[in-house]
Amino acid sequence: MDKSSPALSRRRSRRLHPMPIRVMHWINAAAMLVMITSGWGIYDDDVIVRGLHFPQALRLGDWAAPSLNWHFAGMWLLVLNGLAYLSYGLVTGRLRERLLPIRIADLVKTVRDTLHLRIAHEDLTTYNAVQKVLYVVVILAGASQVLTGLAMWKPVQFSGLVSLLGGFQDARVVHFLGMSVIVGFLLVHVLLSLLVPQTLWAMLAGGPRVGPSGHGEPAPLP
């Protein structure tokens, strides 16, 4: 009699999004919203794009000081949660499993299929090439926000970082571009999750069970 098999199969047939991933995802969602909207409050005193102002209703904080305080409180949540997410993803191999490999041929095929309105999303457990690229880009944008943010916060103590970025104002522009990338991602991400609500539900409840490879294989029967 094989005593270990039920436990083993349960361990093998983990959920698409394990509990730590779901918790960190929603903490990140809150932190990102705080950082974006408080950042819009700070931005307005010295705009980067002439004529671009963010309406008061979209800003966190009545004026610059409370917006700054929100921003410098939210940064802890964003950085600590982001470090936990990246460590978890590297240690468990999830990042590699979900996001790699990205093949140019797959990318071309996905874009072509999408333009022909053939968007297959029955299998939640395998990301298509465009999805993978978007997730990698937004993770890199998040890391860039932290570095450019540090450069702007401490341009004297971290003057090496500032000169690496080209200067104080360049750091501001890169920080602004990083925000734009993240907001662009967010619009697509939220729109698609509403179009395919199973994905939203999966990020709340865990999603379908996946096999040892992390993708949609049938779990071995007990």
Q: Indicate whether 157 belongs to the interface with another protein (CB under 8 A).
A: yes
| Pick 61 or 142: Cβ nearer another protein | 61
Query: Closest Cα partner for 75 from 32, 130, 18?
Result: 32
Q: Indicate whether 64 belongs to the interface with another protein (CB under 8 A).
A: yes
Q: Where are the alpha helices (DSSP H) in the chain?
A: 5-12, 19-43, 64-92, 94-99, 104-115, 129-153, 159-165, 168-195, 197-205
Among 30, 49, 58, 73, binds another protein (CB under 8 A): 73
In whole angstroms, the minimum distance from the beta carbon of 184 to another protein comes to 22
Amino acid residing at 73: A
- Residues forming a β-bridge with 45: none
Among 32, 41, 70, 125, binds another protein (CB under 8 A): 70
Q: Indicate whether 53 belongs to the interface with another protein (CB under 8 A).
A: no
In whole angstroms, the minimum distance from the beta carbon of 165 to another protein comes to 13
Query: Closest Cα partner for 134 from 99, 169, 175?
Result: 99
In whole angstroms, the minimum distance from the beta carbon of 161 to another protein comes to 12
Q: Indicate whether 5 belongs to the interface with another protein (CB under 8 A).
A: no
CB 55 within 8 A of CB 37: no
Report the distance separating Cα 62 and Cα 41, nearest Å: 8
Q: Indicate whether 168 belongs to the interface with another protein (CB under 8 A).
A: yes
Amino acid residing at 131: Q
| Pick 59 or 98: Cβ nearer another protein | 59
Q: Indicate whether 123 belongs to the interface with another protein (CB under 8 A).
A: no
* b (16+ CB within 10 A) / e for 45-80: eeeeeeeeeeeeeebbbeebeebeebbeebbebbbe
Cα Rg, the chain, nearest whole Å? 20
Q: Indicate whether 40 belongs to the interface with another protein (CB under 8 A).
A: no
In whole angstroms, the minimum distance from the beta carbon of 71 to another protein comes to 10
Site residues for another protein per CB under 8 A: 42-43, 45-46, 60, 62, 64-66, 68-70, 72-73, 76, 154-157, 159, 163, 168-169, 172
